[in-house]
Amino acid sequence: MRFLYAAYIATWIIHLSYAGILLRRYDRLKNEAAELEK
């Protein structure tokens, strides 16, 4: 069972990490856009 859970947890860690990367990029771009508007 530990291999099964490890595979499912690893899948979700990969997906959540990518979602986190997208959110961080969004924050950075939003800040850059705000800087430009100034």
Partner 1 sequence: MKRAFPILAVLILAFLGYTAYEALVVAPTEQTMGNVQRIFYYHVPSAWTAFLLFLINFVASIVYLIRRNPAADMIALVSAEVGVVFCTVVLVTGPLWARPVWGIWWTWDVRLTSTLVLWLIYLSYLMLRRFSTSGQTPVLAAALAIFGALDVPLVYFSIRIFRTQHPQPVIGGGGSIDPRMLHVLLINWAAFLGLATLFCWARYRLEYMRREIEETQALEALLEPRGSR
Binding site for partner 1 (CB under 8 A): 1, 3-4, 6-8, 10-11, 14-15, 18-19, 22, 25-26, 29, 32-33, 36
Closest contact distance (angstroms) between CB of 36 and partner 1 is 6
Cα dist. 25→9, 22, 28, 29 in Å?
24, 5, 5, 6
Min separation Cβ 16 and partner 1, Å:
11
Q: C-beta of 29: minimal distance to partner 1 in Å?
A: 5
